[in-house]
């Protein structure tokens, strides 16, 4: 049975921009955000079971192992909708920090959708998978396609972009978990001080202009999370003082990342941050399509 297992890479995303246009009647916020994938990734293994059950285990014990897990929900929705009478064990090798603004759970769900489409021979198109993904979470469609994209609507409407200038991303997560709903809930849309220059960011990406990309970083949720967790501001300041060319909080946070072009600078930042917080990662912007099924 084990030779039929499918393993899928589930990369983290960062927000290069995150703008909120207005609060919608359905409670969600209309967003405009540029996202890209980085090579910090979970691995999702899908192993057929000989009975009709979804079982989930994760290397991080505090991650839910039932329908509250986005990857479990992906399998559940596929089984329900396409009347699949097969069982699967989902194993998540967790490398992306949890509740961090890096879409770890969404990426696991996207990986499960892609992998199960193959394991169960469903023949679903990416559009069909993205529709199911959007029912699980606003970031799941982006995670399905990966690469770099402008996301609109509540995050599920995607316009693909080319790869940004290659660079290093040094990520630091203070030891707090952030609830995305609480952060959006704390935002007063008519009090937003500065909206990110989304058009400039898109141009910087198209032109692979690294310094323009750094200048165009912006996230309207940053202020909200910084009020809750002052460590976010402290990490940003430390990153800038250590030579980061651009810094921003990703998503609803609390992870902050620094962009640098040279590996040596990434190493210096990594070392400086490790003296301040435990969760530090050095990764590369992937930017292209890297969401392949591994085997």
Ligand X SMILES: C[C@@](CO)(OP(=O)(O)O)[C@H](O)COP(=O)(O)OP(=O)(O)OC[C@H]1O[C@@H](n2ccc(N)nc2=O)[C@H](O)[C@@H]1O
Ligand Y SMILES: Nc1ncnc2c1ncn2[C@@H]1O[C@H](COP(=O)(O)OP(=O)(O)O)[C@@H](O)[C@H]1O
| Site residues, ligand Y (CB under 6 A) | 63-64, 68-71, 92, 98-106, 108, 180, 251-252
- Applying CB under 6 A, does 251 fall inside the site for ligand X? yes
- Residue 13 falls in the annotated catalytic set: yes
Beta pairing class for 29-49 and 148-152: antiparallel
Which stretch in 27-35, 82-90, 261-269, 273-281 sits in contact with ligand X by CB under 6 A?
27-35
- Which residue in 139, 173, 236, 265 is the catalytic one? 139
Cβ 289 vs Cβ 197: under 8 Å = no
Nearest to 198 by CA among 11, 13, 16: 16
Cβ 20 vs Cβ 29: under 8 Å = yes
User: Bridge-partner residues for 285, per DSSP?
Assistant: 38
Integer Cα distance of 239 and 269 in angstroms: 7
- Write the DSSP assignment of 228-250 as a string of letters: H-THHHHHHHHHHHTT-SEEEE-
Integer Cα distance of 13 and 51 in angstroms: 35
Is position 103 annotated in a ligand binding site?
yes
Least spacing, CB of residue 91 vs ligand Y, in Å: 11
- Give the x-and-dash track for 184-223 against ligand X (CB under 6 A): x---------------------------------------
Least spacing, CB of residue 211 vs ligand Y, in Å: 28
Task: By CB under 6 A, name the one of 9, 11, 15, 239 that touches ligand X.
Answer: 15
Integer Cα distance of 244 and 90 in angstroms: 38
- Applying CB under 6 A, does 139 fall inside the site for ligand X? yes
Is position 97 annotated in a ligand binding site?
yes
Is position 102 annotated in a ligand binding site?
yes
CA distances from 241 to 222, 223, 268 (A): 19, 20, 11
Nearest to 106 by CA among 181, 11, 27, 35: 11
Least spacing, CB of residue 109 vs ligand X, in Å: 9
Binding partner of 124, given ligand X, ligand Y, none, CB within 5-8 angstroms per partner class: none
Is position 251 annotated in a ligand binding site?
no
Residues forming the annotated binding site for ATP? 97-107
Which sequence positions are flagged as catalytic? Answer: 13, 139
Residues of the shown chain interacting with ligand X in the complex, contacts defined by CB under 6 A = 15, 18, 27-29, 31, 33, 101, 103, 106, 137-139, 154-155, 180-181, 184, 251-252
């Amino acid at each position: 049975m084990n030779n039929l297992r499918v393993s899928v890479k589930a990369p983290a995303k960062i927000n290069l921009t995150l703008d909120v246009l207005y609060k919608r009647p359905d409670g969600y916020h209309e967003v405009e955000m540029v996202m890209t994938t980085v090579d910090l990734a979970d691995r999702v293994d899908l192993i057929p079971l000989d009975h009709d059950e979804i079982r989930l285990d994760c290397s991080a014990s505090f991650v839910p192992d039932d329908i509250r897990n986005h990857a479990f929900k992906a399998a559940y929705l596929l089984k329900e909708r396409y009347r699949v009478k097969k069982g699967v064990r989902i194993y998540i090798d967790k490398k992306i920090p949890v509740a961090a603004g890096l879409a770890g759970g969404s990426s696991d769900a996207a990986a499960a959708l892609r992998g199960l489409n193959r394991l169960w021979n469903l023949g679903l198109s990416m559009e069909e998978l993205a529709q199911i993904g959007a029912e699980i979470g606003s970031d799941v469609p982006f995670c399905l396609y990966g690469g770099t994209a402008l996301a609109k609507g509540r995050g599920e409407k995607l316009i693909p972009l080319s790869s940004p200038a290659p660079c290093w991303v040094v990520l630091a997560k203070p030891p707090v978990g952030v609830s995305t709903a609480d952060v959006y809930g704390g935002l007063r849309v008519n009090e937003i001080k500065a909206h990110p220059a989304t058009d400039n960011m898109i141009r910087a990406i198209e032109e692979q202009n690294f310094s323009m990309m750094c200048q165009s970083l912006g996230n309207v949720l940053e202020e909200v999370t910084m009020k809750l967790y002052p460590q976010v501001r402290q990490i940003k300041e430390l990153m800038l003082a250590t030579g980061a060319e651009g810094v921003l909080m990703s998503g609803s946070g609390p992870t902050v990342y620094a962009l640098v072009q040279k590996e040596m600078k990434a190493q210096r930042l990594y070392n400086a941050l490790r003296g301040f917080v435990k969760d530090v990662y050095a990764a590369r912007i992937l930017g292209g399509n890297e969401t392949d099924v591994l085997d």
